[in-house]
Amino acid sequence: MIPMIPAQPMPFEALTPDAYRQLEHAASLKGLLKPFKGKGELEHLAQVAREIEAQLCHLMEVVVQQARQPPYSLLDIRLVLQNTSAGSTFLRWRTRDFARMGVAAWERQVSNRALPQAVREGLHRFEGERIALNLQMSVVHSLYRQATTCAIKMASAEQLLRQFTTAVEVSG
């Protein structure tokens, strides 16, 4: 059963271009599409990716805070931050009683005919923000992992070259 929810349009502040402005400058692909001269540059790329992840997490928190306001707080579902074992954070839907999680919980709530249209539209906007932010987090976290892995490989290659060069100099 759904508690009495007003049918008037719900306040929802979509993330604006201003919210993303800082990310735009940090996430330029020109820093990615270049020859890397050593592990230091790859470590820097990984660091930038980590900083962008933190900024995306902040944007996710803004969306979660909005979803905690009435009338959405009166519903049976919650938008929550979920930390993964891989070290990233994603937005997930879950029911109050934890019986359901994921898009199925959202679909069930949106499909409820007793839900006012304005609330349904607000949930739709939250779902759009969730999808976009999760995509961005996934891409940036993948970039972080790849840059970190490649920095380790680059360091290993540099160490092998130094060892071989030292061995040749000693024997020569």
Examine residue 156 and state whether it is found in any structural domain, yes or no: yes
Examine residue 124 and state whether it is found in any structural domain, yes or no: yes
Alpha-carbon distance of 47 to 33, in angstroms, equals 16
Give pLDDT tens digits for 6-43. Answer: 555 455 566 666 666 665 555 565 667 778 888 999 99
Mean pLDDT over each residue of the chain, to the nearest integer? 86
Examine residue 165 and state whether it is found in any structural domain, yes or no: yes
Tokens 């007003």 correspond to 6
- Total structural domains in the chain? 1
H or E element: which one contains 32?
none
Structural domain containing residue 149: 38-171
Q: Which band of pLDDT confidence, cut at 50, 70 and 90, is reported for residue 2? A: very low
Examine residue 82 and state whether it is found in any structural domain, yes or no: yes
Examine residue 29 and state whether it is found in any structural domain, yes or no: no
Q: Would you say 63 and 133 are in contact if contact means Cβ atoms under 8 Å apart?
A: yes
Examine residue 6 and state whether it is found in any structural domain, yes or no: no
Other residues' Cβ atoms within 10 Å of the Cβ of residue 98: 9
Examine residue 146 and state whether it is found in any structural domain, yes or no: yes
Q: Which band of pLDDT confidence, cut at 50, 70 and 90, is reported for residue 142? A: very high
Give pLDDT tens digits for 67-108. Answer: 999 999 999 999 999 999 988 999 999 999 988 899 999 999
**Nearest CA among 122, 130, 156, 132 for reference residue 42:** 156
Examine residue 19 and state whether it is found in any structural domain, yes or no: no
77 φ/ψ angles, rounded to the nearest 5 degrees: -115, 160
pTM above 0.75, yes or no: yes
Look at residue 1 in the predicted model and tell me its pLDDT: 46
